[in-house]
Amino acid sequence: MILARTATALLLALAAAGCAARPPAPAHGPGPTTRASFSGCLVAKGEADAANHPAPAVTRSAPAPTARIDAVAGGVTVEHPLTHACCLTAAVTTRLEGRTAVVTERLSGSPCRCRCGSTIRTEVSLAPGAWTVAVELEDGSGTRRVAQQDVKVR
């Protein structure tokens, strides 16, 4: 009982001094609502159809594109053009690590003997405030971070 009164008195004193408590950062764990769409080779119906989605040429003057992260009302949009082995499928998940939203793109399946291009577009709902958004690509060679950006969600 004394402990409860002491805690209440402390909270009242902090409030009177203008020290409002900050809302806690989101806990680690499963992510927010995520919606992903795929275009290019990832929607091809086999190796013959994958040939209709060639990998973009990479030169010194035109390096491989990276993921673009844009803050939008209520969250972020990630657009990631990528080159990969043909005949794969993709899945996207999002998890929160404090104020960091980690978007993980997983490529899986049995690859064919060609390379092709696709784009993964992901919409992630996030609460207003400052966030770091990281994009990870997981494939047969492991997981690597392909982009990271600080954003302000309104």
At 6-52, the pLDDT tens digits run 333 433 343 444 433 333 444 455 568 999 999 999 999 999 999 99
Is 21 part of a structural domain of the chain? no
Is 60 part of a structural domain of the chain? yes
pLDDT bracket for residue 63 (50, 70, 90): confident
Amino acid at 10: L
Is 10 part of a structural domain of the chain? no
Report residue 119: phi and psi, to 5°.
-130, 130
User: According to the model, what pLDDT value does residue 30 have?
Assistant: 58
Is 83 part of a structural domain of the chain? yes
- Report residue 111 as tokens: 């690859």
* Number of domains the chain is built from: 1
Is 122 part of a structural domain of the chain? yes
Is 56 part of a structural domain of the chain? yes
Give per-residue pLDDT as tens, 65-108: 789 999 999 999 999 999 999 999 999 999 999 999 999 999 99
Name residues whose C-beta falls within 8 Å of residue 147's C-beta, 6 or more positions apart in sequence.
66, 67, 68, 69, 78, 80, 134, 135
Q: What is the pTM of this model?
A: 0.78
Domain that holds residue 55: 26-153
pLDDT bracket for residue 125 (50, 70, 90): very high
Is 15 part of a structural domain of the chain? no
Is 9 part of a structural domain of the chain? no
